[in-house]
Amino acid sequence: MRIVVIGSGTAGSNFALFARKLDRKADIIVIGKEKTMQYSPCALPFVLSGKIPKLEDIVVFPNSFYEKQKIQLMLETEAKEIDRERKVVITDKGEVPYDKLVLATGSRAFVPPIKGVENEGVFTLKSMDDVRKIKAYIEERKPKKAVVIGAGLIGLEGAVAFRELGMEVLVVELLEHLLPTMLDKDMARIVQQHLEEKGISFKFGVGVSEIIGSPVKAVKIGDEEIEADLVLVATGVRANIDLAKKAGLKVNKGIVVNEYLQTSDPDIYAIGDCAEVFDAVTGERTLSQLGTTAVRMAKVAAENVFGKNVRFKPVFNTAITELFDLEIGTFGMTEERAKREGINVVVGKFKGSTKPEYYPGGKPIHVKLIFRKEDRKLIGAQIVGGERVWGRIMTLSALAQKGATVEDVVYLETAYAPPISPTIDPITVAAEMALRRFK
């Protein structure tokens, strides 16, 4: 069997490795535009800040690692077209025949059509090349005032990096609060306050209408001109679906796949940022675009290419980040989104401490749980705290993935030790708050 993968990012690289584990003999060919195989785009802000010392370190494995496993690499190669009749990928370096094709074409930074967005000193933060350019620019121009457009994860992580490099930083977000798809306003406020204490400013409900100067000197927000000598555009990503579309495959915002990750052509799979998945709460098609989702899709697609019939489960988009001294973890439905989509929810909130009161060093932790009224199921959670947020959001996400109800969280068996966690965990207290409102 000859399996061709288009895309050398997280999804494509992991697919190749999983496939090789499952079958020692199949021909596995990866076509990729870049010089290397997968690296973690989530690591880019930390390279920028210097926490990860070397950009090259974020490349997970050297090319030789794949080649040793007899994965054939066609890097710095562009797939131009898919001829589904002949089962051939047409690239700028010739034709590549396939039995099974895996589209792992990823996503690209979305850049809104702001006047001056192509000026010098305006960047996105999606690729290793982006980091190289920003670092070179910082080296050369020594910018002092950064404006970040977009208060999503990458925007905020970029803002923190700039701040850590000593710049004044302003974040501008069109919506009402930061991390608008991950948090509700009440939780976002806690994060905002922490970032403001660390010297990052915010403007919400407004957009940048113009970027002035090349190299950039200022941005225009409404009538106001604000000095800036570096601009980061972090307004989300778009799935790369052109190749699939051109090949006549079914696409929406992403490539449409069934639960076995097959596109409308059963010999062609799509995985990672370019492909749609099912939302675990609504059951509707959505884009996940998380690295962890890409890895799981790669695993499932590899199983299915070899005839295993594994279903890819709907996603909750469990996510975590660290911004200065705060950890922020979320998954599933926010209260705001539930309201927009007409889903009746019951919310439980609790502010506690990460350690028992008598043990020194406990940090505040805010827990917000969202249950669906109809079936009492946990459909979302938001946690903001000084430590051990990851463990709590993972615990809650695992529960939600297994269909847990409010009672399951209230009576959850937790692990307690004085230096680590309280006897009665904040997540169970938050669930109790919700349970009372159910009655």
For tokens 């062609």, name the residue: 268
Q: Quick one: which of 223, 307, 360, 375 contacts its own copies (CB under 8 A)?
A: 360
313 to 352: interface string for its own copies, x by CB under 8 A = x-xx-xxxxx----x-x-x---------------------
Beta strand spans in 288-423 (E): 319-323, 326-332, 345-353, 364-372, 378-385
Cβ proximity to its own copies, 172 vs 389, nearer residue: 389
Cβ proximity to its own copies, 175 vs 320, nearer residue: 320
Nearest CA-CA partner of 384 in 410, 365, 401: 365
Q: Quick one: which of 101, 170, 183, 295 contacts its own copies (CB under 8 A)?
A: 295
Contact 153, 179 (CB under 8 A): yes
Which residues touch 118 (CB under 8 Å, ≥6 apart)?
none
User: Strand, coil or helix: what is 93?
Assistant: coil
383 to 412: interface string for its own copies, x by CB under 8 A = -----x-xxxxxxxxxx-xxxx---x--xx
Cβ proximity to its own copies, 296 vs 368, nearer residue: 296
Cβ proximity to its own copies, 64 vs 423, nearer residue: 423
Q: What is the DSSP letter of 226?
A: E
The residue annotated as part of the active site, out of 2, 27, 33, 42, is 42
Q: In what order do the strands lie in the sheet with 200-204?
A: 122-123, 230-233, 145-149, 168-173, 200-204
225 to 264: interface string for its own copies, x by CB under 8 A = ----------------------------------------
Is 274 assigned a catalytic role?
no
Cβ proximity to its own copies, 8 vs 321, nearer residue: 321
Q: Is 290 in the site for its own copies (CB under 8 A)?
A: yes
Contact 403, 383 (CB under 8 A): no
Q: What Å distances lie between residue 362 and 162, 262, 324, 386, CA to CA?
A: 29, 48, 17, 8
Which residues touch 322 (CB under 8 Å, ≥6 apart)?
328
Site residues (vs its own copies, CB under 8 A): 10, 40, 42-43, 46, 51-53, 57-58, 60, 290-293, 295-296, 299-300, 310, 313, 315-316, 318-322, 327, 329, 331, 356-360, 388, 390-399, 401-404, 408, 411-421, 423-424
Q: Which residues are catalytic?
A: 42
